[in-house]
Amino acid sequence: MPVVKSTLSDDDLNVVGNALQGALVDLVDLSLVAKQVHWNVVGPRFRSVHLQLDEVVDTARQHADTVAERASAIGVAPDGRAVTIAKTSGIGEVSDGWIKDGDAVQTLVTGLAAVIERMRERITATGDPDPVTQDILIGLTAELEKHHWMFQAESS
């Protein structure tokens, strides 16, 4: 039984709810991947990459909260449990142990690209049913694309 009644139709709520849940999973996993790499990065560019990774973590965590609260506001219970993240994330696994700075950068380039691709699909899907959610996704995708650009520049 829904506690919060949405103003969206059932069909629109399904589309928007799925988009928000997928975005939440991607953002939580991105923050975990970036933090894992942050703790294990080594190499001559350690400091710059280490600090850059924390910026990604901050962005992902901030937007995860915004996305989850938007889901709640429209009557969708967000699911950020570890089991849900592990089962439904589209970001690849990070190797264990030390990660060379160049490999760390490539891990983030690849992970961010995967998340951005799915975010753009969600932007398209939410345009008609809920422009408010679409706006949230557009803003967060712009920030992710900025991080993606900076990591690509780091790998050149």
The whole-number mean pLDDT for each consecutive block of 10 residues of the chain, a chain of 156 residues, reads 81 97 98 97 95 97 98 96 94 92 96 97 98 98 98 87
pLDDT for 2 equals 62
* pLDDT tens digits, one per residue of 84-124: 999 999 898 898 999 999 999 999 999 999 999 999 999 99
The owner of tokens 């089962």 is: 87
> Beta partners for 42?
100
> 55 and 113 in contact (C-beta within 8 Å)?
no
pLDDT for 90 equals 87
The C-alpha atoms of residue 122 and residue 118 are separated, in whole angstroms, by 6
∠ CA 66-70-72, rounded to 5°: 120
- What length is written for the chain? 156
pLDDT for 1 equals 55
Q: What is the DSSP letter of 44?
A: T
Q: Please state whether 98 falls in left (phi above 0), alpha (psi between -120 and 50) or beta.
A: beta
pLDDT for 155 equals 80
